[in-house]
Structure 1
Amino acid sequence: MIRNLVLVSLLFISVNIITAQEKQAIIANIVKEVNTNSQLEKLAHELLDVVGPRLVGSPQMKNAHDWAVKKYSGWGMDARNEQWGTWRGWERGITHVDMVSPRVQSLEARQLAWSPSTGKKGVTAEVVILPEAKDSADFAQKIKSVKGKFVLISMPQPTGRPDENWEKWATEESFEKMKKDRDSLNDLFNEKMQQNGLGRRELPRALEAAGAEGIISSYWSRGFGVNKVFSAYTEDIPTIDVSLEDYGMLYRLAANGDKPELKIVAESQELGEVPTFNTIAEIKGSEKPDEYVILSAHFDSWDGATGATDNGTGTLVMMETMRILKKLYPNPKRTILVGHWGSEEQGLNGSRAFVKDHPEIVEGVQALFNQDNGTGRVENISGNGFLHAYDYIGRWLYEVPEEVTKHIETNFPGTPGRGGSDYASFVAAGVPAFNLSSLSWDYWNYTWHTNRDTYDKIVFDDVKNNVILTAVLAYMASEDEATTSREQIILPVNRRSGEQMTWPEARDATRKGGLDDED
């Protein structure tokens, strides 16, 4: 009897040693594959340079979905595009903006998303400053003067140098004076905008109704050569974003009575109502196929540039992770699923739709790992309000190489994320979902929703770091003998309202976007 117990014990120890050795071998091979056979630069070129920006409802967005399905299929995975709604279809064409008087100069400018077209011949008109008014009634009279004109609606910036440039080179007195003057100009401009009685959406439409030929804006992002580029609100006339430098020149010319004239050619095309998708790929689980480890990244972008860090890098991390896991870990215990979500930028729509449409998957999620905000190496992971998140996240992180984890701070149990990226759609449904938050690299000023979010801003060493992290976490989550706990913390009382805070509620997606005023 004793002999049999000894044999059983030795066998158990032997199995555990083999399992530990296999685990270490797979992790070592993951690191080796990332460092010696990375496909990140090739994938980045194909997605960002060839496919390009991925505005929801655009042909480029559909091209991206089809490209991803083809990639996953070529790696031996089941992949599909799942339609979850429709959107206003629109395609950006050639944009060319030239000042033709008082001299000739081509300007750095672009249409905003969903801006109406000028047609191939373009439109030529004088540029004027938005009329000043005492109140909304006065503005209703003065707005008549914009008929047949391009209208400047943004504040001209007094400096195109970011604050850190001033701080480095200016005297302290000069820097403080600049900030004071800028704040004063900003206050005056905001007061002027309030007096016309119209919001940021209503103003362009009112100018359009008054007969303006087009809207000229400039949304500086506090960095050299960087503007935020979002969407237009006009229905028939173009809305154009102009660089800080060229916008300031136009404003000064108009203010000084030099009557600048522009010729704008903006050949966008309306495509009607088009389907919109999520791309899903899977490595089927061998023991627990109805339990899931989900890799998550939104696929869409704004289209001022090519969406390299928002969210090309998150997309690349998840694609490369899936490629490596399929190669080195082709028979996972649990199903490993990747979701490339559409229309995150308009309100987490793709991921919200997936949560609503797939309760059977949501019920079986072991963990979800989401990557979004920029090119930097991951530096923070929060427990998102799941009481026992430390028990399993800590266990999995322990197996990640130290050269990766030494950069990471954790926050357990944390509080539930309510927005910002697609993990929040799953947290609201009670799923253990975690955002892999990365270092800034001046993300908010230089690449987030800007005209400079391009391939060259990617730091591939940091992206490789994130692939190693994500691949090991996915592997450990798949192999874990235990099922993760979904128990939630008791949320604190809101200090402002005095009421007990509640867990965020799951919301459905906007299933028909950009096709009416509400969207």
Structure 2
Amino acid sequence: MKRIIGLFILVFALSFSNLIAQDKDPIIEAIVKEANENSQLENIGHELMDVVGPRLVGTPQMLNAHNWAIEKYKSWGINAKKEKWGEWRGWERGITHIDMIEPRVQSLRGTQLAWNPSTGSKGVTAEVIVLPENIKDSISFQKWLPNVKGKLVLISMKQPTGRPDYNWEEFATEESFQKMKDKRDAQTKAWRENIRKTGYNTRSIIPVLENAGAAGIVASYWSRGFGVNKIFSARTKKIPTVDLELEDYTMLYRLAESGHTPKLKIVAESKELGRVPTFNTIAEIKGSEKPEEYIILSAHFDSWDGATGATDNGTGTLVMMEAMRLLKKFYPNPKRTIIAGHWGSEEQGLNGSRAFVEDHPEVVDGLQALFNQDNGTGRVVRISGGGFLNSYDYLSRWLYAVPNDITEHIETTFPGLPGGGGSDYASFLAKGAPAFNLSALNWSYWNYTWHTNRDTYDKIVFDDVRNNAILTAILAYMASEDAEKTSREQIVLPINPRTGEQRTWPEPRSPNRDGGTN
């Protein structure tokens, strides 16, 4: 009897093991093995961030990025092309050098803001001035305004500390931390009120200062982290606008307040390039059975240029490129057409993806699913059904094929709500197409890398990016193989608690196809 029982157990074990083996998908196994043992992420990350560099729309570097991506795809046997969608103000960043020359000599850390005219090699040399405190009203401000002529105007508040709050929380006494916050809140309130009394706001006051004869604008858009600032575009037409890191900016402010009259020399040698074409890069693996149905791997290609755009959105770009490489190698004849969309000018309003949606209604109509990644270097931890009633049916089926060590970190929300426009998936979702955002851990994204001077290669966490590439490749494979077309049935959206009115599905918006010229 014992031998019979033992034989039965052995036969059952073998049968179970065969069943498990049959359950394993050789394509998925090959994708996972290749991604873990022969990843190309570090190499393409180096080429994109270190060699090509930042990818501001309208710059030669953005064009270089498109050409680089096409050649990289070509080396993997994938067809890719640049697809023009508009034109933009052409501009190229040159050398920025900011030096304090009085009351002593010190080179300062900062940069010219985007689309700002060049100072020429001789630069601009001038004294620094701060806005007056306790402005009575707009009339008194107009009387003071002639004082800016020939001066470099400091337009940002002097922050009381350059330490982020988490650092205070760790080391300060509770009383000291609270005292700092109270002081900062009061100072911020007073600063805003003072600006309001000029008759302008923090944006509209800048052209007023330029028209009054200011020699330049000096700002510091602190991102509440050590040495980190947000870097965007200039609002002056003829004079330099530079952003200084907080520690240098507040030093200047203190010197000016105390009557030591700092003087700066600013050299910012940018180039104006006229109107230039703007592109998306589109890579494609053609479908073999249903070529007019599509899976899109989505990531914006452009960046701001305070750094090299590593986590916004270099990492999303790497995920989609590596996923396409894996798919081409192990799934070269997909049932449905798989597209990688590397969008231009996301940072100025989703322009590249909105243009693609307008220009390719056939792709939108045939879309099986879009997977978008655009919020830093962390592993994906959230996927929402995006407001599609039956999204659970297919997304959960596709996710089931993904290795557990990846999915165990992912929280799903079904049916979820439609996204309103934070990234390129929203361009497709607004047309009712099944587009899903792969939301990741932030790794201090909002303070330290999002649109900052610190968004560089060294911030990439390649283990997390590798997981995301595996996840994306398997989702694309499963979506392509699925026997059913995805349902687009939308939920009845709930009441918005803030307005008391029923939410509505996002409306499609047209892109700006002629940007930066006004």
**TM-score after normalising by structure 2:** 0.95
Residue 22 of structure 1 deviates from its aligned partner by: 8.7
Relative to structure 2, which stretch is displaced further, 190-199 or 236-245? 190-199
Q: Which residue of structure 2 aligns with residue 14 of structure 1?
A: none
Match runs of 1:178-217 below 5 Å: 178-217=180-219
3-state DSSP class of the match of 2:61? helix
Aligned with 2:503 (options 497, 501, 512): 501
1:168 aligns with 2:170: yes
Residue 224 of structure 1 deviates from its aligned partner by: 0.6
Q: Which residue of structure 2 aligns with residue 50 of structure 1?
A: 51
3-state DSSP class of the match of 2:293? strand
Residue 498 of structure 1 deviates from its aligned partner by: 3.2
Q: Which residue of structure 2 aligns with residue 109 of structure 1?
A: 110
Aligned with 1:320 (options 319, 322, 347): 322
* Structure 1 letter corresponding to 2:149: K
Q: Is the 8 A contact 1:220 1:243 kept in 2?
A: yes
Match runs of 1:200-279 below 5 Å: 200-279=202-281
* Structure 1 letter corresponding to 2:62: M
Residue 495 of structure 1 deviates from its aligned partner by: 3.0
Aligned with 1:438 (options 437, 440, 458): 440
Q: Which residue of structure 2 aligns with residue 374 of structure 1?
A: 376
3-state DSSP class of the match of 2:275? strand
Q: Which residue of structure 2 aligns with residue 156 of structure 1?
A: 158
Q: Which residue of structure 2 aligns with residue 305 of structure 1?
A: 307
Q: Is the 8 A contact 1:131 1:143 kept in 2?
A: no
**How far does the alpha carbon of each residue in 1:448-474 deviate from its partner, in whole angstroms, 9 at most, with x for none?**
000000000000000001011001000
Q: Is the 8 A contact 2:195 2:202 kept in 1?
A: no
Q: Is the 8 A contact 1:291 1:364 kept in 2?
A: yes
3-state DSSP class of the match of 1:318? helix
**How far does the alpha carbon of each residue in 1:62-108 deviate from its partner, in whole angstroms, 9 at most, with x for none?**
10011111111121111110110111111100000000000000000
- Matches of 1:394 and 1:165 in 2, distance apart? 41
Residue 21 of structure 1 deviates from its aligned partner by: 4.5
Q: Which residue of structure 2 aligns with residue 41 of structure 1?
A: 42
Residue 136 of structure 1 deviates from its aligned partner by: 1.8
* Structure 2 letter corresponding to 1:306: T
Q: Is the 8 A contact 2:381 2:440 kept in 1?
A: yes
- Matches of 1:418 and 1:292 in 2, distance apart? 23
* Structure 2 letter corresponding to 1:415: L
Q: Is the 8 A contact 1:97 1:262 kept in 2?
A: yes
- Matches of 2:496 and 2:183 in 1, distance apart? 38
Q: Which residue of structure 1 aligns with residue 357 of structure 2?
A: 355
- Matches of 1:414 and 1:23 in 2, distance apart? 31
Relative to structure 2, which stretch is displaced further, 498-507 or 444-453? 498-507
1:64 aligns with 2:65: yes
3-state DSSP class of the match of 1:194? helix
Q: Is the 8 A contact 2:206 2:235 kept in 1?
A: yes
* Structure 2 letter corresponding to 1:240: V
Residue 23 of structure 1 deviates from its aligned partner by: 6.3
**Stretches of structure 1 lacking an aligned partner (at least 5 in a row):** 1-16
Residue 180 of structure 1 deviates from its aligned partner by: 0.6
Q: Is the 8 A contact 1:285 1:332 kept in 2?
A: yes
Residue 482 of structure 1 deviates from its aligned partner by: 0.6
**How far does the alpha carbon of each residue in 1:46-70 deviate from its partner, in whole angstroms, 9 at most, with x for none?**
0000000000111100100111111
3-state DSSP class of the match of 2:485? coil
**How far does the alpha carbon of each residue in 1:351-383 deviate from its partner, in whole angstroms, 9 at most, with x for none?**
000001100110000000000000000000000
1:391 aligns with 2:393: yes
Q: Which residue of structure 1 aligns with residue 454 of structure 2?
A: 452
3-state DSSP class of the match of 1:222? strand
Q: Which residue of structure 2 aligns with residue 472 of structure 1?
A: 474
**TM-score after normalising by structure 1:** 0.95
Q: Which residue of structure 1 aligns with residue 85 of structure 2?
A: 84
- Matches of 1:499 and 1:455 in 2, distance apart? 45
Q: Is the 8 A contact 1:53 1:302 kept in 2?
A: yes
3-state DSSP class of the match of 2:308? coil
Q: Which residue of structure 2 aligns with residue 4 of structure 1?
A: none
Residue 152 of structure 1 deviates from its aligned partner by: 0.1
> Please, what is the CA RMSD of the aligned residues?
1.4
- Matches of 1:466 and 1:125 in 2, distance apart? 50
- Matches of 2:59 and 2:143 in 1, distance apart? 39
3-state DSSP class of the match of 1:285? coil
Residue 200 of structure 1 deviates from its aligned partner by: 3.1
3-state DSSP class of the match of 1:264? strand
* Structure 2 letter corresponding to 1:284: K
* Structure 1 letter corresponding to 2:137: D
Q: Which residue of structure 2 aligns with residue 100 of structure 1?
A: 101
Q: Is the 8 A contact 2:90 2:273 kept in 1?
A: yes
**How far does the alpha carbon of each residue in 1:180-216 deviate from its partner, in whole angstroms, 9 at most, with x for none?**
1111111111111111121333211111100000000
Q: Which residue of structure 1 aligns with residue 420 of structure 2?
A: 418
* Structure 1 letter corresponding to 2:43: K
- Matches of 2:93 and 2:514 in 1, distance apart? 20
- Matches of 1:21 and 1:343 in 2, distance apart? 46
- Matches of 1:46 and 1:169 in 2, distance apart? 40
